[in-house]
């Protein structure tokens, strides 16, 4: 593909989180923490609460406004600054739905049929799920490309959706003979937080839909709950922590706990094992709990303070929507020209 080379716009980060249920440690280490680190490194970032995505599956209209505010509160509480970054709600900006329709006419059925998330969520009921659930990744491509975002921080589970966004960008550019019109956005996945596993089963990712609350640490958990969940986290009968990374093989639960320590501390896995190798879980788990609490407790407190002042969240979101609209509206205008739509 030559389109990446011929795209000459600025670097810009975009990411989204659905307002469905509690945020957990996987969302924090896989996504939110990266957003804040990128902001600190000076990247222009656009962060979206993706409520259009949330209605692809059954939802409760009475709860959605507060669920939306809760994700915004988490973004702000983690340190996204509404002056430096753009924090907003997807349905407040028309570009997303408009571009999604256009991309529906660019993406191919065969591409979407390969998406594993749709297969997982649709399960055996694939005939009965909404068309929106099937189309979900096309809307995701529209989210990113309405801002001509070049980089997308996400957890590993989003890799396939990002690949689809790249294909849609390339296909649009080719179909409309507009080389470099859209960038092919790159996923920013690497790092120890990319795939946080369940605390109860090292083969399953930490997820809001796991029926066991002990499987995850929620961002709203208090200190005691975090400590208790880490204490109860599954380990194995081998006992001590290994001295080197090789020793983690075949020990997924232990690997996950060491990975979480590494993600919080910013140390490599090797460095964590250099410190704790040979120690038992009676030593490691309390150290991990203390580290997790020292990072999460201030965020939880700030989140609670935001949730107690919804007007403050709404002001930030209003400002974010205006900024997002100002960036995306000219892109949509150019898209309309390229496609040949009537100009009023
Ligand atoms: P979602 O809650 O599904 O909208 O996910 C929001 C973000 O969190 C996405 O970037 C996901 O890739 C990321 N994420 C979700 N679960 C995990 C996990 N267990 N480990 C790492 N990242 C995750
Ligand atoms: N699909 C993502 C998830 O489930 C959420 C999302 C929607 C997103 N639009 C996006 C992520 C755009 C990155 C960029 O986690």
What is residue 1's predicted lDDT score, i.e. its pLDDT?
43
What is residue 172's predicted lDDT score, i.e. its pLDDT?
98
Mean pLDDT of 32-49: 96
CA–CA separation, 179 and 163 (whole Å): 18
Where is 115: in which H helix or E strand? none
Q: pTM score, two decimals? A: 0.95
CATH architecture under which domain 12-194+310-339 falls? 3-Layer(aba) Sandwich (3.40)
What is residue 125's predicted lDDT score, i.e. its pLDDT?
79
For residue 4, pLDDT over 60 is answered with no
Percent of the chain at pLDDT above 90? 90
- Atom 11 in ligand 2: residue holding the nearest Cα: 16
Instruction: Among the bound ligands, name the one nearest to the CA of residue 189.
Output: 1
C-alpha distance from residue 155 to each of 29, 137, 148 (Å): 8, 15, 20
For residue 62, pLDDT over 70 is answered with yes
Dist. CA 154 → ligand 1 center (Å): 7
Q: What is the mean pLDDT of the chain?
A: 95
Residues 115-140 pLDDT 10s: 988 888 877 777 888 999 999 999 99
Please answer whether residues 141 and 173 qualify as being in contact, where contact means their C-beta atoms are separated by less than 8 angstroms: no
Dist. CA 262 → ligand 2 center (Å): 25
The set of residues, in sequence order, having a beta carbon less than 8 Å from that of 282 and lying 6+ positions away, is: none
Mean pLDDT of 298-310: 97
Please answer whether residues 43 and 81 qualify as being in contact, where contact means their C-beta atoms are separated by less than 8 angstroms: no
Q: Is 8 helix (H, G, I), strand (E, B) or coil?
A: coil
For 274, half-sphere exposure in the C-beta direction (CA atoms, 13 angstrom radius) is 6
pLDDT: which is higher, 7 or 344? 7
Q: 186-188 and 151-153 as β-strands: parallel, antiparallel, unpaired?
A: parallel
Q: Quick one: tokens of 26?
A: 């996987």
Q: Is the CB of 306 under 6 A from ligand 2?
A: no
Q: Is the CB of 90 under 6 A from ligand 2?
A: no
For residue 5, pLDDT over 60 is answered with no
What is residue 93's predicted lDDT score, i.e. its pLDDT?
98
Please answer whether residues 206 and 24 qualify as being in contact, where contact means their C-beta atoms are separated by less than 8 angstroms: yes
The set of residues, in sequence order, having a beta carbon less than 8 Å from that of 321 and lying 6+ positions away, is: 88, 89, 92, 93
Within a 10 A sphere around the Cβ of 153, how many other Cβ atoms? 24
Residues 104-116 pLDDT 10s: 999 999 999 999 8
Mean pLDDT of 212-238: 96
Q: Is the CB of 18 under 6 A from ligand 2?
A: yes
Dist. CA 329 → ligand 2 center (Å): 21
What residue has token string 């589970």? 157
CATH fold of 213-304 reads Tyrosyl-Transfer RNA Synthetase (1.10.240)
Q: Is 24 helix (H, G, I), strand (E, B) or coil?
A: strand
Q: Give the distance, in angstroms, between the CA of residue 329 and the centroid of all CA atoms in the same chain.
A: 24
Per residue, what are the HEC states of 151-220? EEECCHHHHHHHHHHHHHHHHHHHHCCCCCCCCCCEEECCCCCCCCECCCCCCCECCCCCCCHHHCCECC
CA–CA separation, 342 and 100 (whole Å): 19
Q: Is the CB of 53 under 6 A from ligand 2?
A: yes
Domain with CATH 1.10.240.10 in the chain: 213-304
Residues 150-168 pLDDT 10s: 999 999 999 999 999 999 9
Domain with CATH 3.40.50.620 in the chain: 12-194+310-339
DSSP 307: H
What is residue 118's predicted lDDT score, i.e. its pLDDT?
84
Atom of ligand 1 nearest to the CA of 206: 19
For residue 340, pLDDT over 60 is answered with yes
For residue 3, pLDDT over 60 is answered with no
CA–CA separation, 288 and 94 (whole Å): 44
Q: Quick one: tokens of 116?
A: 């594993």
Q: Quick one: tokens of 280?
A: 């038992």
């Amino acid at each position: 593909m030559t389109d990446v080379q011929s795209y000459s716009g600025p670097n810009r980060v975009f990411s989204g989180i659905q307002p469905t249920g509690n945020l957990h440690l996987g969302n924090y280490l896989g996504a939110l923490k990266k957003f804040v680190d990128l902001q600190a490194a000076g990247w222009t970032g656009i962060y979206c609460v993706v409520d259009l995505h949330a209605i692809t599956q059954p939802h409760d209209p009475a709860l959605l406004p507060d669920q939306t505010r809760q994700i915004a509160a988490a973004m702000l509480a983690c340190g996204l600054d509404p002056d430096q970054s753009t924090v907003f709600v997807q349905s407040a900006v028309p570009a997303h739905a408009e571009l999604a329709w256009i991309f529906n006419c660019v993406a191919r059925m065969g591409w979407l049929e390969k998406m594993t998330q749709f297969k997982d969520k649709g399960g055996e009921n694939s005939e009965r799920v909404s068309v929106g659930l099937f189309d979900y990744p096309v809307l995701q491509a529209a989210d990113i490309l309405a801002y001509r975002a070049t980089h997308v921080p996400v957890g590993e589970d989003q890799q396939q959706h990002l690949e689809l966004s790249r294909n849609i960008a390339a296909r649009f550019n080719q179909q409309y003979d507009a080389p470099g019109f859209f960038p092919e956005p790159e996923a920013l996945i690497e790092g120890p937080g990319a795939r946080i596993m369940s605390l109860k089963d090292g083969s399953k990712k930490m997820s809001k839909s796991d029926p066991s609350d002990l499987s995850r640490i929620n961002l709203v958990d208090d200190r005691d709950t975090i400590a208790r969940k880490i204490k109860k986290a599954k380990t194995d009968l081998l006992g001590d922590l290994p001295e080197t990374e090789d020793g983690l093989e075949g020990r997924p639960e232990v690997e996950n706990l060491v990975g979480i320590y590494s993600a919080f501390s910013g140390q490599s896995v090797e460095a964590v094992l250099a410190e704790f190798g040979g120690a038992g879980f009676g030593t490691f788990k309390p150290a991990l709990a203390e580290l997790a609490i020292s990072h999460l407790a201030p965020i939880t407190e700030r989140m609670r303070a935001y949730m107690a002042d919804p007007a403050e969240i709404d002001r930030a979101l209003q400002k974010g929507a205006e900024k997002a609209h100002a960036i995306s509206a000219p892109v949509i205008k150019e898209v309309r020209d390229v496609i040949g739509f009537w100009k009023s």
